[in-house]
């Protein structure tokens, strides 16, 4: 896909949580095509310790308002500066980058699809779920968080499909981790998509492999350049080491070494 470097204008910056904000941006022209699972690289100005662009998953593309949504987790100087953006601010963004999740063929519309997200890894699941719904599928979400206060964009997920939740403290949904949720015992899914902390994704991948379920994971390796030049996001696969920013971030679990 063709890549663009765009100056985009902030339309909204909503603080969803003390550690998360939802940034909405637009541009003068129609937004280029972006696929679920892809990401962008954001140039962060006025942050003296942030020298490289910051990789952010595509959370949602609202074609009715021509807006790109980015769910930002505040973890360092760069993302904290992004949380300070105000409507009207101009942000330079390189997009779309990386590959995407696989959308099943229309003849497989009866497939049962489970989208599992943990923490900020729920971000690409919203875009993926919307894409699947528009393609005629009925996505099921399984969202994991520490507590009810950490479950993000629940209203948006409910608009798209059925939502199941786990929280570590049991304050919302079932208590525990996503791999312990009863939906995995009660329903056999044909395909699983997941993004979140690596231990969670490895556990999901092993469950999927044991149940002979097709599974794709979106890796969150540190990415500095987004174009395969800096080699800081390298991941070991069955065919050697690859750059996640160019060969991923989405991988079928069969291509990784997690199951070995």
Tell me the domain boundaries of the chain. Answer: 4-97, 101-217, 219-259
Mean pLDDT across 182-209: 97
| Residue 194, pLDDT above cutoff 90 | yes
User: What pLDDT score was predicted for residue 52?
Assistant: 83
pLDDT at residue 78 in the model: 92
Would you list which residues are annotated within the binding site? 54-57, 71-73, 78-79, 225, 230, 233, 245
CA distance 46 to 234: 29
- Mean pLDDT across 62-79: 96
Q: Is the pLDDT at 62 greater than 90, yes or no?
A: yes
Greater model confidence, 49 or 67: 67
| pLDDT value for 10 | 98
Per the CB < 8 A criterion, the answer to whether 188 and 113 are in contact is: no
| Residue set of the binding site for [2Fe-2S] cluster | 225, 230, 233, 245
- CATH number for the domain running over 101-217: 3.40.50.80
State the chain's mean pLDDT as an integer.
95
Which tokens go with 252?
């079928």
Residues with Cβ within 8 Å of 204's Cβ and at least 6 positions away in sequence, in order, are: 116, 178, 179, 192, 194, 215, 217
Phi-psi category of 70—alpha, beta or left, where left has phi over 0 and alpha has psi -120 to 50? beta
Please give the annotated binding residues for FAD, written as ranges: 54-57, 71-73, 78-79
Q: Could you count the other beta carbons within 10 Å of the beta carbon of residue 92?
A: 14
Q: Which two tokens stand for residue 249?
A: 């971030």
**How many other C-beta atoms are found inside a 10 Å radius of the C-beta of residue 82?**
23
109 has pLDDT over 90: no
Task: Write out pLDDT tens, residues 3-48.
Answer: 999 999 999 999 999 999 999 999 999 999 999 999 999 999 877 7
Kindly report, residue by residue over 229-242, the tens digit of the pLDDT: 988 899 999 999 99
Class of domain 219-259: mainly beta
Q: Does domain 4-97 have CATH number 2.60.40.1180?
A: no
Q: Which residue has the higher pLDDT, 222 or 68?
A: 68
Torsion of CA 93, 95, 98, 104, to 10 degrees: 130
Q: Give pLDDT, residue 75.
A: 92
């Amino acid at each position: 896909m063709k890549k663009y470097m765009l100056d985009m204008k902030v339309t909204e910056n909503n603080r969803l949580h003390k550690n998360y904000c939802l940034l909405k941006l637009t541009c003068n022209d129609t937004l280029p095509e972006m696929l679920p699972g892809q990401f962008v690289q954001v140039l962060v100005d006025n942050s003296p310790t942030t020298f490289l662009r910051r990789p952010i998953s595509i959370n949602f593309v609202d074609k009715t308002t021509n807006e790109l949504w980015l769910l930002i987790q505040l973890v360092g100087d760069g993302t904290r500066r992004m949380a300070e953006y105000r409507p009207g601010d101009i942000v330079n963004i390189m997009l779309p980058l990386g590959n995407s999740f696989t959308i099943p063929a229309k003849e497989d519309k009866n497939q049962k699809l489970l989208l599992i997200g943990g923490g900020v890894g729920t971000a690409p699941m919203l875009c993926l779920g919307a894409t699947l719904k528009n393609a005629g599928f009925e996505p099921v979400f399984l969202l994991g968080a520490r507590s009810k206060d950490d479950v993000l964009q629940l209203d948006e997920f409910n608009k798209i499909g059925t939502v199941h939740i786990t929280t570590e403290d049991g304050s919302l949904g079932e208590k525990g981790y996503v791999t312990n949720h009863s939906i995995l015992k009660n329903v056999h899914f044909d395909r699983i998509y997941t993004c979140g902390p690596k231990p969670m994704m490895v556990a999901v991948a092993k469950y999927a492999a044991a149940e002979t379920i097709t599974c794709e994971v979106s890796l969150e390796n540190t990415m500095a350049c987004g174009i395969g030049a800096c080699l800081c996001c390298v991941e070991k696969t069955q065919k050697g080491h690859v750059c996640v920013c160019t060969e991923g971030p989405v991988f079928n679990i069969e291509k990784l070494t997690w199951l070995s």
